[in-house]
Structure 1
Amino acid sequence: MSKSFAAKEVASHKSVEEGLWIIIDNEVYDVTKFIDEHPGGPKILKRVAGKDASKQFWKYHGDNVLTKYKPKLCIGAVQADAKL
């Protein structure tokens, strides 16, 4: 994970056509291809796409979820001076 993204770039990825990106703890995840696998359904991922979803994520998930999916879905980090 060496790529960094400006918050504006993450915010532009909020639809299936543009890609669904979310931020969890300053890391950027591309969940576009994961929406059909998400146990909570695609609606919630679409709702938080392009945003920092840390609060919502930790409300319903434990560390084990990030451990499992981070290698597959994490594409980089939010630039330190450009957090949402």
Structure 2
Amino acid sequence: MSKQISANEVKEHNTVEKGLYIIIDGNVYEMSGFVDEHPGGAKILKRVGGKDASKQFWKYHNESVLKKYQERLKIGSLKEEAKL
């Protein structure tokens, strides 16, 4: 079972130093170890750190990219939180 990560926890991990978390389609990825490898540059990853990057990801990537890196970078899934 995948680790459940809250939206607040993702927001707190918004820099390379804190652990750069991004959300893609409800899954959480830790990108701090990948920023220097990212073909589009570190700047774009740093800009979406701590946020849902699904829209930006799918604009420039296809499913094969996600499959290639998913096992290495995925750390869990976004926890469903009760809405009051």
Q: Could you state the TM-score of these two structures normalised by the residue count of structure 1? A: 0.94
Paired position in structure 2 for 1:16: 16
* Alpha-carbon distance in structure 1 between the residues aligned to 2:52 and 2:21: 9
Deviating beyond 6 angstroms after TM superposition, the runs of 4 or more aligned structure 1 residues are none
Secondary structure of residue in 2 paired with 1:44: helix
- Please state if 1:77 is matched with 2:80: no
Q: How many residues align?
A: 82
Structure with larger Rg: 2
Displacement after TM superposition at 1:2 (Å):
1.4
* Alpha-carbon distance in structure 2 between the residues aligned to 1:34 and 1:16: 10
Q: Give the share of equivalent positions with the same residue, in percent.
A: 61
Structure 1 gaps of 5+ residues are none
Amino acid at match of 1:68: K
Amino acid at match of 2:63: D
Cα RMSD of the aligned pairs, angstroms, is 1.1
* Alpha-carbon distance in structure 1 between the residues aligned to 2:68 and 2:35: 16
Displacement after TM superposition at 1:81 (Å):
2.2
Secondary structure of residue in 2 paired with 1:34: coil
Paired position in structure 2 for 1:26: 26
Amino acid at match of 1:5: I
Displacement after TM superposition at 1:35 (Å):
0.2
* Alpha-carbon distance in structure 1 between the residues aligned to 2:2 and 2:63: 22
Displacement after TM superposition at 1:80 (Å):
1.7
